[in-house]
C-alpha cells in the first residue's frame, strides 16, 4: 500500500475504567501462583464450607420445569421471607411499609446497584479510611468521586471530619462495620451519629454489614437501619459469603428505601435479570440453619486472632500491631522505606507468604499490609506468620 505497511488500529478502551485501580486480590493471586507453596494471608475467606442444609436444599434442583425460567428481579420469594425474618430478629429492621429487600449476586453487586440508583457522574461518595477497595473502584467506574476521610488511630470514624467533608456534590456516606480491612467495629454511638449526619444533610447512609457476626469478646454489631427515622435514607448491605462459607455462590442482599425500587428494578433487570435460582435455594437452606452456624465457629477464629496477635509481638518497634475487634483482618503498619506493593511482592518472592498492600484500601501514609487469618488452619497460620516475621525483619528499616 504505497510502500507502507498497513497498520491495524483498534478503538481505545474506556478512559474511565483505565483510571480505576487494578483489583489487588487477582494481582497478588497471580504472584502467589508463580511461587508454589506460598501461604496466603491475603484473600478474605473462611475455612469452613456451607451448611449441609444448603446442599440438601438443592439436591433435586432442576427437576421442576419452572426452575429453569427467569424469576423475580428482587429475589426468590421464600428466600426473601427468610431474609425479612432474619432482619427483624437479628438486626432490628422491620421491613414493612417503606422498606424493600433485594437479593443480589453478592454484596459487591448490592453496593453497585445502590450507587447506580442514587448517584450521577460527578457526585461524591464519602469513604472513611481505610475503605474496601472494590467500593472505591465501583465509585470511580460510575464517574463519581470517592472522598477518603481519615479515621483515628484505631480506625474509628471521626464525625467532625466527616461533616467537614460534605459538599453540595455529596450523595452518601459509607460505613463498613465490622471493618474490612482493619477489623475495627464501629460503636453504636458512632453509627447513630453518622446516620443522623446523613439525615441532616439529605444524604444516604450506606451501611455495609457483611461481617455482622464476626465480633469478639463483649463487642457487638449494630445496624443503623434499625434506628427510628432511618428508613428513608439508609441502605444496608449483607452477604452470605463469609458467615455461611458461601463465597462462590454469590448471594448478598440489600435493604433500601422503597422509593428506590423503580430504579433498582431497572438496574437489576439490566445487569442480572434475576439472581441465580440454585444459589438462592441453597441460601434459603443456609438461613434455615441460622446464624449459629457461623457463631459456633467464632471461638476458633478468636483463638487464631489471639495467637496471631501474640506471635506478632516480637515485631513491636518495627510495626504497629493493633488488636482488631471484628471480622478476621489485622492491619500492620511497618517501619520501612519500601512501599507496600513492593514489600508484598518481596514477601512472596523471598518468603512465600502473601499479604495485601494497604494502598489498595486508600492507606498511602506509610507502609501497611492487611493480614487475613480466616482461611488457614492453625498450623498453616503459624507457618505463614513465621515467614511474615522473617520477611518483615529483613525489610523493615
Q: What is the pLDDT of residue 6?
A: 61
Residue 116 pLDDT > 60? yes
In angstroms, the CA 370 to CA 365 distance is 14
In angstroms, the CA 72 to CA 94 distance is 22
Same domain, 140 and 280: yes
Residue 5 pLDDT > 70? no
Cis before 337 (ω within 30): no
Question: What are the residues whose beta carbons fall under 8 Å from the beta carbon of 120, sequence distance 6 or more?
Answer: 144
Tell me the CATH number at 279: 3.40.640.10
Domain-located, residue 288: yes
Domain-located, residue 38: yes
Same domain, 151 and 93: yes
In angstroms, the CA 341 to CA 331 distance is 14
Q: What is the pTM of this model?
A: 0.94
Domain-located, residue 320: yes
Question: In a 10 Å sphere around its CB, with 0-12 CB exposed, 13-18 middle and 19+ buried, how is residue 325 labelled?
Answer: buried
Domain-located, residue 7: no
Residue 96 pLDDT > 90? no
DSSP structural state of residue 87: I
Same domain, 221 and 334: no
Same domain, 308 and 276: no
Domain that holds residue 74: 60-293
pLDDT band at 273 (very low <50, low <70, confident <90, very high): very high
In angstroms, the CA 154 to CA 126 distance is 19
Same domain, 101 and 160: yes
- Contact between 91 and 112 under an 8 Å Cβ cutoff? The reply is no
Same domain, 260 and 310: no
Domain-located, residue 4: no
Tens-digit pLDDT profile for residues 122-177: 999 999 999 999 999 999 999 999 999 999 999 999 999 999 999 999 999 999 99
Asked which of 266, 293, 320 is the last residue of a domain, the reply is 293
Same domain, 130 and 275: yes
For the segment 295-301, the average pLDDT, to the nearest whole number, is: 95
Same domain, 303 and 391: yes
Same domain, 136 and 178: yes
Q: Which one is predicted more confidently, 338 or 101?
A: 101
Tens-digit pLDDT profile for residues 30-44: 999 999 999 999 989
Question: In a 10 Å sphere around its CB, with 0-12 CB exposed, 13-18 middle and 19+ buried, how is residue 111 labelled?
Answer: buried
Tell me the CATH number at 327: 3.90.1150.10
Instruction: Count how many domains the chain has.
Output: 2
Residue 261 pLDDT > 70? yes
Asked which of 238, 272, 293 is the last residue of a domain, the reply is 293
pLDDT band at 343 (very low <50, low <70, confident <90, very high): very high
In angstroms, the CA 82 to CA 108 distance is 21
Q: What is the pLDDT of residue 2?
A: 55
Domain-located, residue 334: yes
List beta partners, residue 148: 127
Residue 227 pLDDT > 80? yes
- Contact between 20 and 140 under an 8 Å Cβ cutoff? The reply is yes
Helices (H) and strands (E) in the chain, counts: 14, 13
Domain-located, residue 1: no
Domain-located, residue 300: yes
Same domain, 81 and 129: yes
Asked which of 263, 293, 323 is the last residue of a domain, the reply is 293
Share the mean pLDDT of the chain.
94
Q: What is the pLDDT of residue 338?
A: 87
Q: Which one is predicted more confidently, 63 or 396?
A: 63
Same domain, 77 and 201: yes
Share of the chain above pLDDT 90, in %: 88
Same domain, 81 and 226: yes
Q: What is the pLDDT of residue 3?
A: 54
Amino acid at each position: 500500500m504505497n510502500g507502507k505497511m498497513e497498520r491495524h488500529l483498534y478503538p481505545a478502551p474506556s478512559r474511565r475504567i483505565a483510571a480505576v485501580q487494578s483489583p489487588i486480590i487477582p494481582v497478588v493471586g497471580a504472584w502467589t501462583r508463580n511461587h508454589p507453596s506460598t501461604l496466603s494471608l491475603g484473600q478474605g475467606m473462611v475455612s469452613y464450607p456451607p451448611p449441609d442444609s444448603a446442599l440438601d436444599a438443592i439436591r433435586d434442583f432442576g427437576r421442576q420445569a419452572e426452575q429453569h425460567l427467569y424469576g423475580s428481579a428482587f429475589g426468590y420469594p421464600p428466600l426473601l421471607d427468610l431474609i425479612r425474618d432474619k432482619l427483624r430478629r437479628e438486626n432490628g429492621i422491620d421491613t414493612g411499609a417503606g422498606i424493600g429487600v433485594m437479593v443480589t449476586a453478592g454484596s459487591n453487586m448490592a453496593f453497585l446497584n445502590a450507587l447506580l440508583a442514587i448517584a450521577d457522574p460527578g457526585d461524591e461518595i464519602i469513604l472513611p479510611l481505610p475503605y474496601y477497595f472494590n467500593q472505591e473502584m465501583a465509585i470511580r467506574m460510575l464517574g463519581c468521586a470517592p472522598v477518603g476521610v481519615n479515621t483515628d488511630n484505631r480506625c474509628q470514624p471521626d464525625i467532625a471530619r466527616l461533616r467537614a467533608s460534605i459538599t453540595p456534590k455529596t450523595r452518601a456516606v459509607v460505613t463498613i462495620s465490622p471493618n474490612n480491612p482493619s477489623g475495627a467495629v464501629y460503636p453504636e454511638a458512632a453509627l447513630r451519629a453518622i446516620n443522623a449526619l446523613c439525615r441532616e444533610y439529605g444524604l444516604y447512609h450506606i451501611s455495609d454489614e457483611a461481617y455482622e457476626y464476626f465480633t469478639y469478646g463483649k463487642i457487638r454489631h449494630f445496624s443503623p437501619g434499625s434506628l427510628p427515622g432511618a428508613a428513608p435514607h439508609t441502605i444496608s448491605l449483607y452477604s452470605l459469603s463469609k458467615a455461611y462459607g458461601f463465597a462462590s455462590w454469590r448471594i448478598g442482599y440489600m435493604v433500601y428505601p422503597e422509593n428506590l425500587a423503580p430504579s433498582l428494578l431497572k438496574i437489576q433487570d439490566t445487569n442480572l435479570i434475576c439472581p441465580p435460582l440454585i444459589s438462592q435455594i441453597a441460601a434459603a437452606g443456609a438461613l434455615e440453619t441460622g446464624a449459629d452456624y457461623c457463631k459456633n465457629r467464632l471461638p476458633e477464629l478468636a483463638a487464631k486472632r489471639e495467637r496471631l496477635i501474640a506471635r506478632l509481638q516480637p515485631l513491636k518497634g518495627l510495626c504497629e500491631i493493633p488488636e482488631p475487634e471484628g471480622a478476621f483482618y489485622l492491619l500492620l503498619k511497618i517501619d520501612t522505606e519500601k512501599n507496600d506493593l513492593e514489600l508484598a511482592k518481596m514477601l512472596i518472592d523471598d518468603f512465600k507468604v502473601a499479604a495485601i498492600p494497604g494502598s489498595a484500601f486508600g492507606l498511602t501514609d506509610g507502609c501497611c499490609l492487611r493480614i487475613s487469618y480466616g482461611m488457614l488452619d492453625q498450623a498453616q497460620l503459624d507457618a505463614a506468620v513465621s515467614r511474615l516475621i522473617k520477611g518483615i525483619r529483613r525489610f523493615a528499616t
